[in-house]
Chain A
Amino acid sequence: MNNALAQYGVLLGLAVGTVGLVLSLYAAARALGRARRESGKDVPATSGRLARDPVWVRYHARYYGYALLFLAFDMEMAYMYPWAVVYKQEGLVALLDMGVFLAILFLGLLYGWSQGALRRQ
């Protein structure tokens, strides 16, 4: 328990240290000079002409059919990891249990496919 906490502490330290590295790089760049303010320089890349509309408009996520199926599969994977660890000692029972579960999920995928979920909407 203590050991696990210490390991997460190390990971937190790694993240904080990385932020420190990035900030010190920014500081080094700032010490070399700042960006000169010139008109038109801060316009986002738009191939030479300004965007007509603000770009934060709704982007049509044409993969939403996949995205809904993805939610089901992603939840299912949360069950798979503990199962995978004890799989060998549980033996055939574990294979059948998860086999049924995965078969149902796979049928769901086939059903979604047949209803046209797996295409660019």
Chain B
Amino acid sequence: MRIAVVLGFLFAGAYLVAVLEARLATGRLRLAAPGWAAMALLGRESVVPRQPDRLFFETAPALLLIAALLAAAVLPLAPGLFITNLATGALFVNAALAYVLVALLMAGWGPDGAYALIGGWRFLGQLIAYSMLIVMPITAVAMRAESLLTTDIVASQTGLWNILYQPLGFVLFFIAAMGVAFLPPFDLPSAEGELAGGVTSEYTGVRLAVFRLGRLVLVITLSAATVVFYLGGWLGPVLPPWAWSAVKILAVSATMLLIGHYLPRIREAHLLAWCWKLGIPLALLNIFIVGVMVLVWP
């Protein structure tokens, strides 16, 4: 029952993200649009390109969805409202998100298409850029909470949310989270303009529908991770805890989409340079600052 409620939340959130994405793309707010689009994709032909690596081609869309759902499975929406409460939750999020890379590499390699292949390898470079900015800020969060339990991490923010306690970590994590979800301006693997859709270019029909669903759930998952690690999870006055989680998660997703809407796509070489020459030194500095603060003023 509890699991069904969380999954319902996730898919409802993914639907709303799709509505927002369509609003930004078309300028019109139509609540039913993603539903119609999904049904249309279901009815369309799902063409398999000639000479594919069939195993990779078929695995990729499902694996993307599984990776996003597994990462979301350890994030609590309210006290007692989670799929699992693993003792290693904060680490498990990283482990599950690593499979996003595997899924996109498979989607790039599988169909034997030039654009898809370039998109897939590009995402490997993107992982090398964003990955450290996911794990290092989470370490600083775990230092304050003295636990990897995601519920403990939320509880540790009762006095002061982590966005104020470690703002540097929040900024780095937020940017890196947009990189994981390959949202603009970090949509290098699926770049519409230059790669004709990149990793998604060879997917049609129901396979594309599953791929897009996985991506939407991934956006919600990363928003939920941002909320749990930095925005105090379910904490907040008046409203019930689950409502606070829902509001915060949607607000973070909307912010991510809006930021991407107004920025040009970054070049891969620039992304790597910025992340390694500025991002990682800042992330290490963040660990050090939080380390001192935890001892002085917990």
Write the residues of chain A forming the contact surface with B, with a CB cutoff of 8 angstroms.
4, 7-8, 10-11, 14-15, 18-19, 22, 25-26, 28-29, 32-36, 41-47, 51, 54-56, 59, 61-63, 66-67, 69-70, 73-74, 77, 80-81, 84-89, 91-92, 95, 98-99, 102, 106, 109, 113, 118-120
- Main secondary structure on B side of the interface with A: helix
Distance of A4 Cα from B74 Cα, bound (Å): 12
Distance of A88 Cα from B144 Cα, bound (Å): 8
B48→A7 contact, CB < 8 A: no
B295's partner among A7, A32, A92, A98 (CB-CB below 8 A) is A92
6 A-B pairs, CB-CB below 8 angstroms? A32-B42, A56-B109, A98-B291, A102-B284, A106-B281, A120-B272
Distance of A36 Cα from B114 Cα, bound (Å): 24
Question: Which residue, of A74, A84, A87, A109, has the highest number of chain B Cβ atoms within 10 A?
Answer: A84
Q: How far is the CB of A67 from chain B (nearest CB, A)?
A: 6
A42→B139 contact, CB < 8 A: no
Distance of A80 Cα from B289 Cα, bound (Å): 15
Query: B119-152: which residues lie under 8 A (CB-CB) from chain A?
Result: 121, 124-125, 128-129, 131-132, 135-136, 139-140, 142-143, 146-148
Query: B267-298: which residues lie under 8 A (CB-CB) from chain A?
Result: 268-269, 272-273, 276-277, 280-281, 284, 287-288, 291-292, 294-295, 298
Interface band, chain B: 35 or more
Q: What residues of A have a CB within 8 angstroms of the CB of B187 in the complex? A: none
A81→B131 contact, CB < 8 A: no
The segment from B19-27, B60-68, B170-178 that touches chain A is B60-68
Q: What residues of B have a CB within 8 angstroms of the CB of A88 in the complex? A: 143, 146, 294-295, 298
Q: What residues of B have a CB within 8 angstroms of the CB of A74 in the complex? A: 131-132, 135
Residue of B nearest to A46 (CB): B114
A119's partner among B70, B273, B280 (CB-CB below 8 A) is B273
A35-B45, A56-B117 known; A7+B62 contact, CB < 8 A:
no
A45→B128 contact, CB < 8 A: no
Q: What residues of B have a CB within 8 angstroms of the CB of A47 in the complex? A: 196
Top 7 A-B pairs, shortest CB-CB distance = A44-B113, A29-B206, A35-B45, A84-B142, A120-B269, A7-B84, A63-B125
Q: What residues of B have a CB within 8 angstroms of the CB of A54 in the complex? A: 112
A84→B209 contact, CB < 8 A: no
Distance of A16 Cα from B45 Cα, bound (Å): 26
Q: How far is the CB of A85 from chain B (nearest CB, A)?
A: 6
Question: Which residue, of B125, B142, B143, B273, has the highest number of chain A Cβ atoms within 10 A?
Answer: B143
B70→A15 contact, CB < 8 A: yes
B135's partner among A11, A15, A29, A77 (CB-CB below 8 A) is A77
Q: What residues of A have a CB within 8 angstroms of the CB of B69 in the complex? A: 14-15, 18
Distance of A59 Cα from B3 Cα, bound (Å): 42
Residue of B nearest to A31 (CB): B42
Q: How far is the CB of A18 from chain B (nearest CB, A)?
A: 5
A66→B113 contact, CB < 8 A: no
A118→B276 contact, CB < 8 A: yes
A22→B65 contact, CB < 8 A: yes
Q: How far is the CB of B216 from chain A (nearest CB, A)?
A: 14
Residue of B nearest to A119 (CB): B273
